[in-house]
Amino acid sequence: MAKTKTKFFCSECGYETPKWYGKCPGCGAWNSMVEELETVVKTQGMSTGIFQSKEKPLPIISIDSGTEQRVQTGIGELNRVLGGGLVPGSLILVGGDPGIGKSTLLLQTSHELAKSGLRVLYISGEESVRQTKMRAERLGALSAELYVLCESSVERIEEAIDSVKPDFLVIDSIQTVYLSEITSAPGSVSQVRECTGRFMRIAKGQGIATVLVGHVTKEGAIAGPRMLEHMVDCVLYFEGERHHTYRLLRAVKNRFGSTNEIGIFEMNESGLAEVSNPSELFLSERSAGAAGSTVVASMEGTRPMLVELQALIAATHFPAPRRMGTGVDLHRMNLIIAVLEKRMGMFLQNQDAYLNVAGGVRLDEPAVDLAIAVSIASSFRDVPTKPDDVIFGEIGLTGEVRAVSRAEQRVREAAKLGFKRVILPEKSLKGWNSPKEIKVIGVNTVAEALSAALN
């Protein structure tokens, strides 16, 4: 017999409770509890788990790991973020703002996989097959092995999977599909959780690489229960401003690769194009010889990337100066300002400080400390930096410049783009030879770095 009961779910974190609360006990969000009717069917002799296996436990050293071959998607930036390609049987969640290009990227990926001979099934719950065909024609993504279906019922989607037997499956989006045995509306917490569990069983049981498209909340997190990100193998976020042409694909969870890699795309009339050299993109609009502007060599996974840092120091009439940083850690910025005041004698207590990373990239590694210090000092003294300089290094509280990793790759990237000098930590010069076409200046303190960069 089926039994219906009322439950309340938090639309932000998925917290479940039998009574309504104004403030979620799980995440503290206000007015986020949603009432849902849940139908519970009692079964006899049936396991409720996702996987049913009769295998016995084995010692891990006796298990044959095999050689699982990754599938190349035909898009190099996507392969980089995934860790080298698609893993058969993996479940991938792609999130991003509306209109950012999630469906475009997946349709282009489906086309590339279909061209390579794989069978692809693209399930759209948001647009008809004719609308999908129109978008595919615009992108040039027409292939005989690419099957398209407009469906929201998970039961009918399973029938289509049994009929087509795809190697790659796309569900666009997970918030639009539903299970008929659950009485709540599509997109609700219980529907998203149960539908994801069903697709996970299909992916693991049949070895189908499956991609789920997820909507995001106004804060930028994927809508639905937090459990959704724990269930999948890989979580990708598609980032970028809709008013700009470039997009960033970032992995925040990846069971089969690194989470430090990013993929960079440029949106044009024919879809998303790969950006093979992101440093040129981020430096294309840089003003040469401007005070407060420096170029820093940052590492995103295994890729060196040159990005412009801009600082603006302006006098304030308020007792508490304002500190604002875009693309950098604000606490790290305040620490560097304190070091400049204490060790370099700069009086910044009556100055507003603004820092921006051009291009919308976020830099979290300590290697950008020295470039931040030089940008702030350049704007404070109103002395322009040299346009052919690249700066990187970590700053300690005593004013010393500490070594950073992969200095050789950063220097070679700067030399490839035509820069003439690199200011870096002295201790990072050991164990490698710098290119002949670029001058390398090693520094041990912030004072030495400012003297080399601003004189």
For the annotated binding site for ATP, the residues are 96-103
Quick one: 238 exposed, middle or buried, by C-beta within 10 A (0-12, 13-18, 19+)? Answer: buried
* Helices and strands in the chain: count of H runs, count of E runs: 11, 21
For residue 202, what is the enclosing H or E element? helix 189-206
State how far the Cα of 33 lies from the Cα of 176, in Å rounded to an integer: 20
How many other CB atoms are there within 10 angstroms of residue 437's CB atom? 10
3-state helix, strand, coil split of the chain in percent (to 5) is: 30, 30, 45
- Structure tokens that stand for 433 in this block: 């030879």
Question: Phi-psi category of 135—alpha, beta or left, where left has phi over 0 and alpha has psi -120 to 50?
Answer: alpha
Q: Which residues contact 162 (CB under 8 A, 6 or more apart)?
A: none
Torsion of CA 28, 34, 37, 40, to 10 degrees: -30
The string of DSSP codes covering 87-142 is: PTT-EEEEEE-TTSSHHHHHHHHHHHHHHTT--EEEEESSS-HHHHHHHHHHHT--
Cβ 212 vs Cβ 199: under 8 Å: yes
**Residue ranges of the binding site:** 96-103
Q: What are phi and psi of 200, to 5 degrees?
A: -65, -40
SS3 call for 63: coil
CB 177 within 8 A of CB 171: yes
Q: Which structure tokens are listed for 352? A: 């507003």
In DSSP terms, which residues pair with 92 in a beta bridge? 211, 234
**152 and 102 in contact (C-beta within 8 Å)?**
no
Pairing relationship of beta strands 120-124 and 146-150 according to DSSP bridges: parallel
Identify the bridge partners of residue 356 per DSSP, sorted by sequence position.
310, 326
Alpha-helix residue ranges (DSSP H) falling in 46-101: 76-82
